[in-house]
């Protein structure tokens, strides 16, 4: 079943790999929960994806408008780019030179250990962090640039670099 023409969000059951014979070259407007996952590789396109307790992996291809919430996990890896991330109560990692353009990070439900965007090796360009969310430039090759932290948000630079950040009242930068 090819999902590229789906207009209403549909649930992926199991593990969807894009591109593949099953799903074609593109997928949009879908969500994954529990142990289900979606993986985007070179040549694939995935738009408007929600990891609502499920898992999402971006290893290549084109990815935009992804959401990690309710404990969902997303990894952006292997030099891939994700344009548009909303993280609320999920967990996201940036590895191996990957890039996220525009990340909005929070943890409004105060889920333990969630609302966390960790940059191990890569770049996050632009976005906001608030309401219990954290953006952490953890690795030596980690860059968080152009982030605005507001009430309840945190920007951390463990070994990485934070530049052009704005820290508003009620936020923390370390």
In order, the DSSP letters of 28-87 are EEEEE-TT-EEEE-TT-EEEEEEEESSEEEE-SSEEEEEEEETT-EEEE-TT-EEEEEEE
Please state the domain extents for the chain: 10-173
How far is it, in rounded angstroms, from Cα 63 to Cα 48? 8
Q: What pLDDT does 115 receive?
A: 96
SS3 155: strand
Residue listed under structure tokens 């409004």: 108
Q: Over the chain (174 residues), what is each successive 10-residue block's mean pLDDT?
A: 51 93 91 95 95 96 95 96 98 98 97 95 98 98 98 97 95 90
| Rounded-to-integer distance, Cα 158 and Cα 143, Å | 11
The reported pLDDT for the residue numbered 8 is: 56
Contact 33, 50 (CB under 8 A): no
Q: Which pLDDT belongs to residue 61?
A: 87
Residue 138 to residues 66, 95, 99, 114, 174, Cα–Cα distance (Å) = 22, 11, 15, 16, 11
């Amino acid at each position: 079943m090819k999902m590229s023409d789906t207009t209403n969000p549909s649930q992926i059951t199991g593990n969807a790999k894009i591109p593949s014979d099953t799903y074609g070259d593109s997928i949009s407007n879908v969500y994954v929960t529990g142990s289900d996952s979606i993986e985007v590789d070179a040549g694939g396109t995935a738009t408007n994806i929600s990891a609502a307790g499920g898992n999402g992996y971006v290893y290549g291809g084109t990815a935009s408008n992804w959401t990690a919430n309710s404990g969902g996990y997303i990894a952006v890896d292997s030099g891939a780019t994700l344009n548009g991330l909303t993280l609320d109560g999920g967990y996201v990692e940036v590895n191996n030179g990957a890039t996220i353009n525009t990340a909005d990070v929070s943890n409004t439900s105060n889920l333990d250990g969630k609302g966390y965007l960790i940059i191990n090796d890569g770049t996050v360009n632009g976005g906001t962090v608030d309401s219990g969310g954290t953006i952490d430039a953890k690795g030596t090759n980690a860059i968080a640039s152009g982030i605005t932290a507001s009430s309840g948000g945190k920007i951390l630079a463990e070994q990485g670099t934070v530049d052009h950040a704005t820290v508003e009242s009620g936020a923390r930068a370390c």
